[in-house]
Structure 1
Amino acid sequence: MNDIPQPIIKQLRSLMPVRPLEEHEARSIAERQATKLLELLEQHAPAVDVGLITELPLVEVKVDSALRGTGILGFSNWSRGRWLIVVNRDDSTTRRRFTLSHEFKHILDHPYIGVIYSKLGKTEEERDYLTERICDYFAACLLMPRNWLKRAWASGIQDQTALAAKFHVSEAAMGIRLKEVGLIEPQFRSIRLPAIGRPVRNYFRRLPVAQPKLNTTTP
Protein backbone atom coordinates (compact mmCIF):
# COMPACT_ATOMS: atom_id res chain seq x y z
CA MET A 1 0.00 0.00 0.00
CA ASN A 2 1.27 3.48 -0.90
CA ASP A 3 1.18 5.63 2.24
CA ILE A 4 2.85 8.67 0.67
CA PRO A 5 0.34 11.54 0.97
CA GLN A 6 -0.72 13.38 -2.16
CA PRO A 7 0.54 16.95 -2.61
CA ILE A 8 -1.71 19.49 -0.88
CA ILE A 9 -2.80 21.17 -4.10
CA LYS A 10 -3.79 17.81 -5.58
CA GLN A 11 -5.78 16.91 -2.46
CA LEU A 12 -7.69 20.20 -2.58
CA ARG A 13 -8.38 19.87 -6.30
CA SER A 14 -9.81 16.41 -5.70
CA LEU A 15 -12.72 18.04 -3.85
CA MET A 16 -13.83 19.78 -7.05
CA PRO A 17 -16.37 17.97 -9.26
CA VAL A 18 -15.46 18.59 -12.89
CA ARG A 19 -18.80 19.82 -14.19
CA PRO A 20 -20.58 23.16 -14.43
CA LEU A 21 -21.45 24.41 -10.95
CA GLU A 22 -24.22 26.58 -9.59
CA GLU A 23 -22.94 29.53 -7.57
CA HIS A 24 -24.08 28.03 -4.27
CA GLU A 25 -22.24 24.77 -5.10
CA ALA A 26 -19.06 26.63 -5.99
CA ARG A 27 -19.14 28.52 -2.70
CA SER A 28 -19.78 25.32 -0.73
CA ILE A 29 -16.81 23.60 -2.40
CA ALA A 30 -14.62 26.65 -1.79
CA GLU A 31 -15.42 26.43 1.92
CA ARG A 32 -14.65 22.69 1.97
CA GLN A 33 -11.31 23.36 0.28
CA ALA A 34 -10.46 26.12 2.76
CA THR A 35 -11.35 23.88 5.69
CA LYS A 36 -9.25 21.04 4.28
CA LEU A 37 -6.30 23.36 3.69
CA LEU A 38 -6.40 24.50 7.33
CA GLU A 39 -6.36 20.85 8.39
CA LEU A 40 -3.43 20.00 6.10
CA LEU A 41 -1.47 23.05 7.28
CA GLU A 42 -2.26 22.15 10.91
CA GLN A 43 -3.90 25.49 11.60
CA HIS A 44 -6.33 25.31 14.50
CA ALA A 45 -6.79 28.85 15.81
CA PRO A 46 -6.57 32.44 14.54
CA ALA A 47 -4.76 34.12 13.05
CA VAL A 48 -4.06 31.74 10.15
CA ASP A 49 -0.44 31.60 9.06
CA VAL A 50 -0.98 32.11 5.33
CA GLY A 51 2.79 32.23 4.92
CA LEU A 52 2.65 28.45 4.95
CA ILE A 53 1.26 28.64 1.41
CA THR A 54 4.64 29.98 0.30
CA GLU A 55 6.27 26.78 1.57
CA LEU A 56 4.21 24.49 -0.65
CA PRO A 57 6.10 22.73 -3.45
CA LEU A 58 6.10 24.59 -6.78
CA VAL A 59 4.61 27.75 -5.24
CA GLU A 60 6.49 31.06 -5.12
CA VAL A 61 5.05 34.28 -3.67
CA LYS A 62 6.42 37.74 -4.42
CA VAL A 63 5.39 40.95 -2.72
CA ASP A 64 6.07 43.46 -5.47
CA SER A 65 5.94 47.27 -5.65
CA ALA A 66 5.67 47.12 -9.46
CA LEU A 67 1.88 46.93 -9.14
CA ARG A 68 1.78 50.40 -7.56
CA GLY A 69 -0.89 52.56 -9.17
CA THR A 70 -2.22 49.80 -11.40
CA GLY A 71 -5.30 49.02 -9.34
CA ILE A 72 -4.25 45.35 -9.36
CA LEU A 73 -4.14 43.73 -5.93
CA GLY A 74 -2.36 40.61 -7.17
CA PHE A 75 -2.24 37.90 -9.79
CA SER A 76 -1.12 34.31 -10.26
CA ASN A 77 0.23 32.27 -13.15
CA TRP A 78 2.33 29.24 -14.03
CA SER A 79 5.82 30.31 -15.02
CA ARG A 80 9.21 28.60 -15.19
CA GLY A 81 8.06 25.38 -13.62
CA ARG A 82 6.23 26.81 -10.62
CA TRP A 83 3.13 28.73 -9.61
CA LEU A 84 3.89 32.40 -9.09
CA ILE A 85 1.65 34.57 -6.92
CA VAL A 86 2.38 38.30 -6.97
CA VAL A 87 0.90 40.55 -4.29
CA ASN A 88 0.89 44.36 -4.29
CA ARG A 89 3.48 45.59 -1.77
CA ASP A 90 1.63 48.88 -1.31
CA ASP A 91 -1.44 47.19 0.17
CA SER A 92 -1.96 46.73 3.90
CA THR A 93 -0.86 43.50 5.55
CA THR A 94 -4.47 42.39 5.97
CA ARG A 95 -5.23 43.00 2.31
CA ARG A 96 -2.07 41.18 1.19
CA ARG A 97 -3.10 38.17 3.30
CA PHE A 98 -6.51 38.21 1.63
CA THR A 99 -5.04 38.60 -1.87
CA LEU A 100 -2.62 35.70 -1.34
CA SER A 101 -5.50 33.46 -0.24
CA HIS A 102 -7.67 34.63 -3.16
CA GLU A 103 -4.95 33.92 -5.72
CA PHE A 104 -4.30 30.47 -4.26
CA LYS A 105 -7.92 29.61 -5.09
CA HIS A 106 -7.26 30.59 -8.71
CA ILE A 107 -4.42 28.07 -8.71
CA LEU A 108 -6.70 25.34 -7.35
CA ASP A 109 -9.33 26.09 -10.00
CA HIS A 110 -7.03 26.43 -12.98
CA PRO A 111 -7.22 22.90 -14.49
CA TYR A 112 -11.04 23.04 -14.54
CA ILE A 113 -11.70 26.72 -15.13
CA GLY A 114 -13.19 26.16 -18.58
CA VAL A 115 -15.83 23.86 -17.09
CA ILE A 116 -16.69 24.53 -13.47
CA TYR A 117 -17.76 28.19 -13.83
CA SER A 118 -18.97 27.96 -17.44
CA LYS A 119 -22.65 28.36 -16.50
CA LEU A 120 -22.25 31.25 -14.08
CA GLY A 121 -23.75 34.53 -15.20
CA LYS A 122 -25.34 35.56 -18.47
CA THR A 123 -22.27 37.25 -19.94
CA GLU A 124 -18.52 36.69 -19.88
CA GLU A 125 -18.11 39.82 -17.74
CA GLU A 126 -20.60 38.57 -15.19
CA ARG A 127 -19.01 35.10 -15.16
CA ASP A 128 -15.57 36.60 -14.54
CA TYR A 129 -16.97 38.79 -11.80
CA LEU A 130 -18.69 35.91 -10.02
CA THR A 131 -15.55 33.80 -10.35
CA GLU A 132 -13.63 36.51 -8.49
CA ARG A 133 -16.31 36.53 -5.80
CA ILE A 134 -15.92 32.77 -5.32
CA CYS A 135 -12.18 33.24 -4.86
CA ASP A 136 -12.94 35.99 -2.34
CA TYR A 137 -15.25 33.59 -0.52
CA PHE A 138 -12.50 30.97 -0.35
CA ALA A 139 -10.15 33.56 1.13
CA ALA A 140 -12.76 34.57 3.72
CA CYS A 141 -13.36 30.93 4.68
CA LEU A 142 -9.61 30.36 5.02
CA LEU A 143 -8.86 33.46 7.09
CA MET A 144 -12.12 33.50 9.07
CA PRO A 145 -13.30 29.88 9.35
CA ARG A 146 -16.95 29.58 10.29
CA ASN A 147 -16.37 27.41 13.38
CA TRP A 148 -13.50 29.53 14.67
CA LEU A 149 -15.55 32.69 14.30
CA LYS A 150 -18.53 31.22 16.09
CA ARG A 151 -16.27 29.96 18.86
CA ALA A 152 -14.71 33.40 19.33
CA TRP A 153 -18.18 34.98 19.32
CA ALA A 154 -19.46 32.51 21.92
CA SER A 155 -16.43 33.25 24.11
CA GLY A 156 -17.55 36.86 24.35
CA ILE A 157 -15.55 38.54 21.57
CA GLN A 158 -18.40 40.22 19.70
CA ASP A 159 -16.82 43.52 18.74
CA GLN A 160 -16.03 43.70 15.02
CA THR A 161 -12.77 45.57 15.57
CA ALA A 162 -11.57 43.08 18.17
CA LEU A 163 -12.49 40.13 15.97
CA ALA A 164 -10.71 41.67 12.98
CA ALA A 165 -7.56 42.09 15.08
CA LYS A 166 -7.77 38.52 16.39
CA PHE A 167 -8.10 37.04 12.89
CA HIS A 168 -5.72 39.59 11.32
CA VAL A 169 -8.18 40.75 8.68
CA SER A 170 -9.68 44.12 7.85
CA GLU A 171 -12.76 45.32 9.71
CA ALA A 172 -14.62 45.47 6.39
CA ALA A 173 -13.85 41.83 5.61
CA MET A 174 -14.82 40.79 9.12
CA GLY A 175 -18.12 42.64 8.85
CA ILE A 176 -19.06 40.77 5.68
CA ARG A 177 -18.01 37.43 7.13
CA LEU A 178 -20.05 37.96 10.31
CA LYS A 179 -23.11 38.46 8.13
CA GLU A 180 -22.31 35.42 5.99
CA VAL A 181 -22.15 33.10 9.00
CA GLY A 182 -25.29 34.62 10.54
CA LEU A 183 -23.76 36.29 13.59
CA ILE A 184 -25.09 39.74 12.68
CA GLU A 185 -27.98 40.90 10.53
CA PRO A 186 -27.35 40.46 6.79
CA GLN A 187 -27.87 44.09 5.84
CA PHE A 188 -24.62 44.15 3.93
CA ARG A 189 -23.37 46.95 1.75
CA SER A 190 -23.69 46.06 -1.92
CA ILE A 191 -22.02 47.27 -5.09
CA ARG A 192 -23.49 47.14 -8.57
CA LEU A 193 -21.82 46.74 -11.93
CA PRO A 194 -23.98 48.33 -14.66
CA ALA A 195 -23.40 45.41 -17.04
CA ILE A 196 -24.45 42.90 -14.41
CA GLY A 197 -27.38 44.72 -12.94
CA ARG A 198 -27.55 43.00 -9.57
CA PRO A 199 -25.84 43.55 -6.21
CA VAL A 200 -23.14 41.19 -5.02
CA ARG A 201 -21.12 40.96 -1.82
CA ASN A 202 -17.66 42.41 -2.12
CA TYR A 203 -14.61 42.06 0.10
CA PHE A 204 -11.87 44.05 -1.60
CA ARG A 205 -11.93 43.83 -5.37
CA ARG A 206 -13.95 46.64 -6.89
CA LEU A 207 -13.66 45.15 -10.39
CA PRO A 208 -12.60 41.74 -11.67
CA VAL A 209 -8.88 41.53 -12.38
CA ALA A 210 -7.96 39.72 -15.59
CA GLN A 211 -5.66 36.79 -15.03
CA PRO A 212 -2.45 36.83 -17.08
CA LYS A 213 -2.27 34.15 -19.75
CA LEU A 214 -0.43 31.05 -18.68
CA ASN A 215 2.69 30.50 -20.73
CA THR A 216 3.19 26.74 -20.55
CA THR A 217 1.57 23.47 -19.62
CA THR A 218 0.58 23.35 -15.95
CA PRO A 219 0.59 20.42 -13.52
Structure 2
Amino acid sequence: MAYESSINYLIRRLLTTTEYLSNKFNPAEYPSGRYIEEVRRFLKEYTHIPRNKTEKLLILLLDCLREKFKEPSATTKRNLIRRARDTGQRCYICGCSLDFEQENLYNSAIIEHVWPRSLGGASDNTNLRVSCKRCSEIKSNYIDVADFHYEEICLSSDKNSVHFFNSLEWEYRIAILMKNSFSCVICGKEPAYEGELEFCRQETEDSWHFLNVDTYCSQHARE
Protein backbone atom coordinates (compact mmCIF):
# COMPACT_ATOMS: atom_id res chain seq x y z
CA MET A 1 0.00 0.00 0.00
CA ALA A 2 3.00 2.30 0.22
CA TYR A 3 2.98 2.24 -3.60
CA GLU A 4 -0.72 3.22 -3.71
CA SER A 5 -0.03 6.03 -1.25
CA SER A 6 2.67 7.39 -3.57
CA ILE A 7 0.23 7.24 -6.49
CA ASN A 8 -2.35 9.19 -4.47
CA TYR A 9 0.30 11.77 -3.62
CA LEU A 10 1.17 12.15 -7.31
CA ILE A 11 -2.51 12.55 -8.25
CA ARG A 12 -2.95 15.30 -5.68
CA ARG A 13 0.27 17.01 -6.69
CA LEU A 14 -0.69 17.09 -10.37
CA LEU A 15 -4.23 18.32 -9.72
CA THR A 16 -3.15 20.92 -7.18
CA THR A 17 -0.46 22.24 -9.50
CA THR A 18 -2.97 22.47 -12.34
CA GLU A 19 -5.31 24.52 -10.16
CA TYR A 20 -2.41 26.64 -8.89
CA LEU A 21 -1.35 27.51 -12.45
CA SER A 22 -4.96 28.21 -13.42
CA ASN A 23 -5.18 30.72 -10.56
CA LYS A 24 -1.76 32.22 -11.26
CA PHE A 25 -2.42 32.69 -14.97
CA ASN A 26 -6.08 33.61 -14.66
CA PRO A 27 -7.71 33.91 -18.12
CA ALA A 28 -9.21 37.20 -16.94
CA GLU A 29 -5.69 38.66 -16.78
CA TYR A 30 -3.71 36.52 -19.25
CA PRO A 31 -4.39 35.11 -22.73
CA SER A 32 -6.96 32.33 -22.40
CA GLY A 33 -4.55 29.53 -23.28
CA ARG A 34 -1.65 30.70 -21.12
CA TYR A 35 -2.31 28.55 -18.07
CA ILE A 36 -2.76 25.47 -20.27
CA GLU A 37 0.67 26.10 -21.76
CA GLU A 38 2.08 26.46 -18.25
CA VAL A 39 0.58 23.12 -17.19
CA ARG A 40 2.02 21.51 -20.32
CA ARG A 41 5.43 23.00 -19.52
CA PHE A 42 5.24 21.76 -15.94
CA LEU A 43 4.49 18.20 -17.09
CA LYS A 44 7.39 18.23 -19.51
CA GLU A 45 10.00 19.91 -17.31
CA TYR A 46 9.15 18.85 -13.76
CA THR A 47 7.88 15.29 -14.11
CA HIS A 48 9.22 12.10 -15.68
CA ILE A 49 5.99 11.34 -17.49
CA PRO A 50 6.70 9.99 -21.01
CA ARG A 51 6.32 12.68 -23.65
CA ASN A 52 3.84 10.59 -25.63
CA LYS A 53 1.52 10.60 -22.57
CA THR A 54 1.75 14.30 -21.78
CA GLU A 55 -1.15 15.53 -23.92
CA LYS A 56 -3.52 12.82 -22.71
CA LEU A 57 -2.65 13.64 -19.11
CA LEU A 58 -3.05 17.36 -19.77
CA ILE A 59 -6.58 16.81 -21.10
CA LEU A 60 -7.43 14.64 -18.09
CA LEU A 61 -6.13 17.24 -15.62
CA LEU A 62 -8.13 20.02 -17.26
CA ASP A 63 -11.26 17.85 -17.18
CA CYS A 64 -10.68 17.11 -13.49
CA LEU A 65 -10.29 20.80 -12.72
CA ARG A 66 -13.61 21.55 -14.41
CA GLU A 67 -15.34 18.73 -12.51
CA LYS A 68 -14.03 20.03 -9.20
CA PHE A 69 -16.23 23.10 -9.47
CA LYS A 70 -19.37 21.28 -10.61
CA GLU A 71 -22.14 20.52 -8.14
CA PRO A 72 -24.58 17.65 -8.62
CA SER A 73 -27.77 19.05 -10.11
CA ALA A 74 -30.79 19.43 -7.84
CA THR A 75 -32.62 16.87 -9.98
CA THR A 76 -29.81 14.32 -9.66
CA LYS A 77 -29.66 14.73 -5.88
CA ARG A 78 -33.43 14.57 -5.52
CA ASN A 79 -33.66 11.40 -7.62
CA LEU A 80 -30.85 9.65 -5.73
CA ILE A 81 -32.40 10.46 -2.36
CA ARG A 82 -35.87 9.41 -3.51
CA ARG A 83 -34.58 6.12 -4.91
CA ALA A 84 -32.64 5.36 -1.74
CA ARG A 85 -35.64 6.14 0.45
CA ASP A 86 -38.13 4.19 -1.67
CA THR A 87 -35.93 1.08 -1.84
CA GLY A 88 -34.87 1.17 1.81
CA GLN A 89 -31.20 1.69 1.06
CA ARG A 90 -28.78 2.22 3.91
CA CYS A 91 -25.48 4.08 4.04
CA TYR A 92 -23.35 2.58 1.28
CA ILE A 93 -20.28 2.80 3.52
CA CYS A 94 -21.31 1.53 6.96
CA GLY A 95 -24.81 0.15 6.38
CA CYS A 96 -26.60 2.19 9.05
CA SER A 97 -30.25 3.21 8.59
CA LEU A 98 -30.56 6.64 7.01
CA ASP A 99 -32.65 9.58 8.14
CA PHE A 100 -34.12 11.27 5.06
CA GLU A 101 -35.94 14.04 6.93
CA GLN A 102 -33.39 15.78 9.17
CA GLU A 103 -30.08 17.24 8.03
CA ASN A 104 -27.80 17.39 11.05
CA LEU A 105 -27.97 13.90 12.51
CA TYR A 106 -25.07 11.44 12.31
CA ASN A 107 -27.20 9.28 10.00
CA SER A 108 -28.71 12.05 7.88
CA ALA A 109 -28.72 11.02 4.21
CA ILE A 110 -25.93 12.72 2.24
CA ILE A 111 -25.07 12.64 -1.46
CA GLU A 112 -21.49 11.36 -1.46
CA HIS A 113 -18.87 11.44 -4.22
CA VAL A 114 -17.17 8.03 -4.40
CA TRP A 115 -14.14 9.54 -6.12
CA PRO A 116 -13.70 12.93 -4.38
CA ARG A 117 -15.04 15.95 -6.24
CA SER A 118 -11.99 17.91 -5.07
CA LEU A 119 -9.90 15.50 -7.15
CA GLY A 120 -12.05 15.66 -10.26
CA GLY A 121 -14.76 13.18 -9.31
CA ALA A 122 -17.80 13.48 -11.56
CA SER A 123 -21.04 14.87 -10.12
CA ASP A 124 -23.30 12.41 -11.91
CA ASN A 125 -24.87 9.03 -11.21
CA THR A 126 -21.68 7.16 -12.10
CA ASN A 127 -19.86 8.63 -9.09
CA LEU A 128 -22.59 9.44 -6.57
CA ARG A 129 -23.93 7.27 -3.73
CA VAL A 130 -26.01 7.93 -0.63
CA SER A 131 -24.18 7.74 2.69
CA CYS A 132 -24.74 8.86 6.25
CA LYS A 133 -23.41 12.25 7.34
CA ARG A 134 -20.85 10.70 9.69
CA CYS A 135 -19.24 8.46 7.06
CA SER A 136 -19.23 11.21 4.44
CA GLU A 137 -17.41 13.60 6.78
CA ILE A 138 -14.82 11.03 7.84
CA LYS A 139 -14.20 9.71 4.31
CA SER A 140 -13.87 13.34 3.22
CA ASN A 141 -11.47 13.64 0.26
CA TYR A 142 -9.81 10.25 0.69
CA ILE A 143 -9.29 8.34 -2.54
CA ASP A 144 -8.88 4.85 -1.13
CA VAL A 145 -7.56 2.94 1.85
CA ALA A 146 -3.99 4.10 1.19
CA ASP A 147 -5.04 7.58 2.35
CA PHE A 148 -5.76 6.29 5.85
CA HIS A 149 -3.13 5.74 8.55
CA TYR A 150 -3.77 2.01 8.35
CA GLU A 151 -0.54 1.30 10.24
CA GLU A 152 -2.25 2.70 13.36
CA ILE A 153 -5.06 0.14 13.23
CA CYS A 154 -3.74 -2.30 15.83
CA LEU A 155 -5.99 -3.18 18.77
CA SER A 156 -4.94 -4.81 22.02
CA SER A 157 -8.49 -5.67 23.12
CA ASP A 158 -10.63 -8.54 21.85
CA LYS A 159 -14.15 -8.50 20.44
CA ASN A 160 -15.67 -9.67 23.72
CA SER A 161 -14.11 -6.75 25.59
CA VAL A 162 -16.23 -3.75 26.58
CA HIS A 163 -13.45 -1.55 25.18
CA PHE A 164 -13.30 -3.19 21.75
CA PHE A 165 -15.76 -1.08 19.79
CA ASN A 166 -14.47 2.13 21.34
CA SER A 167 -10.98 1.13 20.24
CA LEU A 168 -12.24 0.36 16.74
CA GLU A 169 -12.71 4.02 15.90
CA TRP A 170 -15.05 5.00 13.10
CA GLU A 171 -12.17 6.07 10.89
CA TYR A 172 -10.61 2.63 11.37
CA ARG A 173 -13.89 0.99 10.40
CA ILE A 174 -14.17 3.02 7.20
CA ALA A 175 -10.57 2.14 6.29
CA ILE A 176 -11.29 -1.59 6.68
CA LEU A 177 -14.57 -1.29 4.79
CA MET A 178 -12.82 0.61 2.01
CA LYS A 179 -10.14 -2.09 1.84
CA ASN A 180 -12.90 -4.50 0.82
CA SER A 181 -14.69 -2.03 -1.49
CA PHE A 182 -17.47 -1.58 1.07
CA SER A 183 -18.65 -5.17 0.74
CA CYS A 184 -18.51 -8.64 2.26
CA VAL A 185 -15.11 -10.10 1.45
CA ILE A 186 -16.72 -13.49 0.68
CA CYS A 187 -19.87 -12.81 -1.33
CA GLY A 188 -19.64 -9.12 -2.21
CA LYS A 189 -22.90 -8.08 -0.53
CA GLU A 190 -22.96 -4.33 0.09
CA PRO A 191 -23.93 -2.46 3.27
CA ALA A 192 -26.39 -0.34 1.26
CA TYR A 193 -28.58 -3.44 0.83
CA GLU A 194 -27.30 -5.88 3.46
CA GLY A 195 -27.00 -3.51 6.42
CA GLU A 196 -24.02 -3.23 8.73
CA LEU A 197 -21.23 -5.69 8.02
CA GLU A 198 -19.29 -7.46 10.75
CA PHE A 199 -15.59 -7.09 11.40
CA CYS A 200 -13.84 -10.44 11.78
CA ARG A 201 -10.27 -11.65 11.77
CA GLN A 202 -8.74 -13.82 9.08
CA GLU A 203 -6.54 -15.53 11.68
CA THR A 204 -8.26 -15.70 15.05
CA GLU A 205 -5.00 -16.49 16.86
CA ASP A 206 -3.55 -13.19 15.66
CA SER A 207 -4.48 -9.77 17.06
CA TRP A 208 -6.87 -7.26 15.56
CA HIS A 209 -4.77 -5.29 13.09
CA PHE A 210 -5.52 -3.81 9.69
CA LEU A 211 -4.16 -6.65 7.55
CA ASN A 212 -5.90 -9.29 9.67
CA VAL A 213 -9.41 -7.79 9.70
CA ASP A 214 -12.01 -8.04 6.94
CA THR A 215 -15.72 -7.27 6.59
CA TYR A 216 -18.37 -9.98 6.39
CA CYS A 217 -22.12 -10.16 5.93
CA SER A 218 -24.14 -11.93 8.63
CA GLN A 219 -24.11 -15.16 6.62
CA HIS A 220 -20.32 -15.35 6.40
CA ALA A 221 -19.24 -13.75 9.69
CA ARG A 222 -16.49 -15.83 11.31
CA GLU A 223 -16.66 -14.74 14.94
The structure number with the bigger radius of gyration is 2
Task: Please state which band the TM-score falls in when normalised by the shorter chain.
Answer: under 0.3
TM-score for the superposition, normalised by structure 2: 0.25
TM-score for the superposition, normalised by structure 1: 0.25
Q: Identify which of structures 1 and 2 has the higher relative contact order when contacts are C-alpha pairs closer than 8 Å and 6+ apart.
A: 1
